[in-house]
Amino acid sequence: MTHNIPSFINLAIKKKVLQFGEFTTKAGRKSPYFFNLGNFNDGESIRELGKYYAQIIVNSNIEFDMIFGPAYKGIPLVSSIAIALMEHNINIPYSFNRKEIKDHGEGGIIIGAPVRGRVLIIDDVISAGTSINEAVSIIDGNDGSACGIIVAIDRQEKGAGDISAIQDVSNKFNIPTLSIITLDNIIEYLASQNTFKNELKFIKEYRKEYGVS
């Protein structure tokens, strides 16, 4: 499977992962689109999602020893990606964190493989960077070091300053951050269709106001 951007966007629209309308972002902006990875919520779609992530990882040539998914959305992501990577003959450990520390049974906040070596962080989207900051803190607190971040979408939107949240996180931790799609990819896809003229207009206006280069 190649990294086919239009097919991923088509799947995201079909599963209502990518929706159009009026939505309020965490930053309080009125966005003409919304991306909710949680709507990849059945066996077929989560399998396909894992394949798209796996292909980006393979293409990236980032050297890593394991993958880590911040709770909660990162949990099904790392599971599906680990399975998808086996199609590339890559058998990689994965783990994720709890939101609360467990004081009985196995205890701790890590579920899955021990966190060690070069750790590739998997998430859905970087908004404020909070979950990534927590993930890096957990990884640093164990025997690992973050070596990269893979997300589903780069909104290419200004954060607190003139750079995006993704650029900010990459700069802060000095690691690459890659995405399956970008807002520019969505714009290009909508422009190639005849049924999204209004959506395209609103998204272009939003990109002009809040976008980064």
Q: Which residues are catalytic?
A: 102, 104
Give the phi and the psi of residue 182 in degrees, each rounded to 5. -125, 170
Query: Using CA atoms, how far apart are residues 47 and 44, in angstroms rounded to an integer?
Result: 5
Question: Closest Cα to residue 66, out of 136, 146, 170, 177?
Answer: 146
Question: Closest Cα to residue 53, out of 186, 178, 156?
Answer: 178
Query: Using CA atoms, how far apart are residues 176 and 113, in angstroms rounded to an integer?
Result: 23
